[in-house]
A and B are shown apart, each in its own frame.
Chain A
Amino acid sequence: MAVYKDLDEALSLVENLCTTEQITNLLRKRKGTESVRISAENKEDLVRRNLRTAIEAKAIDIQEVFDLIRSSEENGNQHIFYWRPTNSKLAETLTLDHTAAQLWGGHWQKTVAAFPSIRLKPDDYKYSDFRAVSTRKPKDWILKVYGQKTIVRATGKTKPEAPGVFWREFVEESLRIVLAARWNYPDLLEIRVQRNESRRRVEEWHQQVWSMLTPALVRGQFAEWPLSAPMRRISLEADKHSKIYEFRDAGILDKGEDVVANFQTVSDQGNLFKSQQTIASIKSFLEAGGNLKGLAVRWLANPNAEPQEELRVLLGAKESNEMVVSGRCTAGDLDYVTDQLRGFSKAAS
């Protein structure tokens, strides 16, 4: 079976992407079953010995391992670009079946059944996964693309060769790339691109996802969903929602776009709400017709619902429809943030 053929790759991904706690929790689900051992001296043993043995003994289904990989690499530590279909009829046609048929033709079920495909294609991109997101949102789907690229990176080391001449050291590195398109019914297409120090790469990857979606849908059918309206409400209504979120950094352009002001707390754990002067300044810019250019929002954890853990995002800093999620998170927590943005995009009642 294909899943066992790729077991080594799957275990490598688990080792690199998942936390020891996540792996232990998976093994604990089968605690007491023969072939399931939980304790290990280190993460490598936990994955290479304990998890492998449990999978080979069929105590743990390989699909559970794939779910672990999915939850670790699909949500967070990424740029999300929000796009809206330009008409509602298009939104209704974007079902999983229709999209898959457009991408892979009449025999799409066979292609989709072979996913996830986790082996990388050297210096290229490939479809890796396509599936419904959850039973809770049956009209949503996610398309995942894997890529691999060999990049050349300067190490920063230099060596004098002769007077006025020096060598700079460069190393080749293999970059593993995870990209995704998530249809968030009824109105949002999210293009998700992993974070990287090179903005050029981020933009290339964004374009790559569009190009791989092209058999099913094209960029011209969608419009950017600008986050300016939710950002404005989030900042102006901060005092009403202090149990839901805080914000730490804000950039603001004046009406004529002649002046940009940046407010940042010195501490990375700081909260701009604590400075009344800052709140008043931001309000005065906005009330005079200014616009936010970057807002770092910390969505506070909710013990009874989502988000399960605090989640920090940066809204609209570069592109108006772009959100940067700085840490890994659960799919549910990320959907919570998108739903909040949808809510705040509506006019205040």
Chain B
Amino acid sequence: MSRINLEALAKQHPDYARALRALQSWIDAHEQERVINPMKVAKDLRQVDTTDLAMAFTLLHKAGLLKRVYKVLTPAGVLADGEFDSPTVIPEKLPDRFERYFDTSDAEIVPVFRLVA
């Protein structure tokens, strides 16, 4: 069963119905992902116009289905564990995937969405 149903939203916003349905398929195909990185989704859904996709994310956010959170890239360029409600609450140091701590002041912060449902 899907974790989220965007059909009602697609009916309310027919201009973005295609983007919303594509996003629904992406979410269903990535069951393990609690956190959605819009950049990754845009890469996977090249057939969908990026402006429409951005609008689809905005609609989900406004509907309370997604929450904006922030993640940090490790020096190896992968996402570190943990997500933060604001960039200001990110600790000064975080562990990378092999438990080596790095300084987050030099790291890239990635705005992502967490599924609220």
> Which one, B71, B77, B97, B101, contacts A296 given CB within 8 A?
B97
Beta-carbon contact of B98 and A268 below 8 Å: no
Beta-carbon contact of A262 and B71 below 8 Å: no
Q: Which residues of A contact B76 (CB under 8 A)?
A: 262, 264
* Residues of chain B at interface, number, CB under 8 A: 21
Report B74 CB to chain A, min CB distance, Å.
Answer: 8
Beta-carbon contact of B71 and A251 below 8 Å: no
* Residues of chain A at interface, number, CB under 8 A: 24
| Residue B59 CB within 8 A of the other chain | no
Per the bound structure, the CA–CA distance linking A270 and B34 in Å amounts to 11
Per the bound structure, the CA–CA distance linking A146 and B91 in Å amounts to 25
Q: Mark A261-293, 1 if CB is under 8 A from B, else 0.
A: 010111111110000000000000000000000
Q: B43-71: which residues lie under 8 A (CB-CB) from chain A? A: 71
Q: B61-115: which residues lie under 8 A (CB-CB) from chain A? A: 71, 76-81, 92-93, 95, 97-99, 101, 105
Known contacts A156-B105, A271-B32: A264-B97 contact under CB 8 Å: yes
| Residue B35 CB within 8 A of the other chain | yes
Q: Which residues of B contact A189 (CB under 8 A)?
A: none
| Residue A318 CB within 8 A of the other chain | yes
Per the bound structure, the CA–CA distance linking A269 and B92 in Å amounts to 23
Per the bound structure, the CA–CA distance linking A268 and B34 in Å amounts to 10
| Residue B40 CB within 8 A of the other chain | yes
Per the bound structure, the CA–CA distance linking A264 and B101 in Å amounts to 16
| Residue B24 CB within 8 A of the other chain | no
Report B115 CB to chain A, min CB distance, Å.
Answer: 11
Q: Which residues of B contact A296 (CB under 8 A)?
A: 97
> Which one, A155, A269, A294, contacts B33 given CB within 8 A?
A269
Q: A154-198: which residues lie under 8 A (CB-CB) from chain B? A: 155-156, 195, 197-198
Report A252 CB to chain B, min CB distance, Å.
Answer: 12
Report A320 CB to chain B, min CB distance, Å.
Answer: 14
- Closest B residue to A271 by CB, please name it: B32
Q: Mark B26-44, 1 if CB is under 8 A from A, else 0.
A: 0000001111010010000
Per the bound structure, the CA–CA distance linking A241 and B69 in Å amounts to 33
Per the bound structure, the CA–CA distance linking A324 and B77 in Å amounts to 21
Report B104 CB to chain A, min CB distance, Å.
Answer: 10
Beta-carbon contact of A267 and B40 below 8 Å: yes
> Which one, B81, B93, B101, B105, contacts A268 given CB within 8 A?
B81
Q: Which residues of B contact A271 (CB under 8 A)?
A: 32
Per the bound structure, the CA–CA distance linking A317 and B99 in Å amounts to 8
Beyond the given A262-B98, A269-B35, could you list 4 further A-B residue pairs with CB under 8 A, ordered by the A residue number? A195-B99, A248-B97, A249-B97, A267-B37
- A positions within 8 Å CB-CB of B: 155-156, 195, 197-198, 248-249, 251, 262, 264-271, 294, 296, 314, 317-318, 324, 326
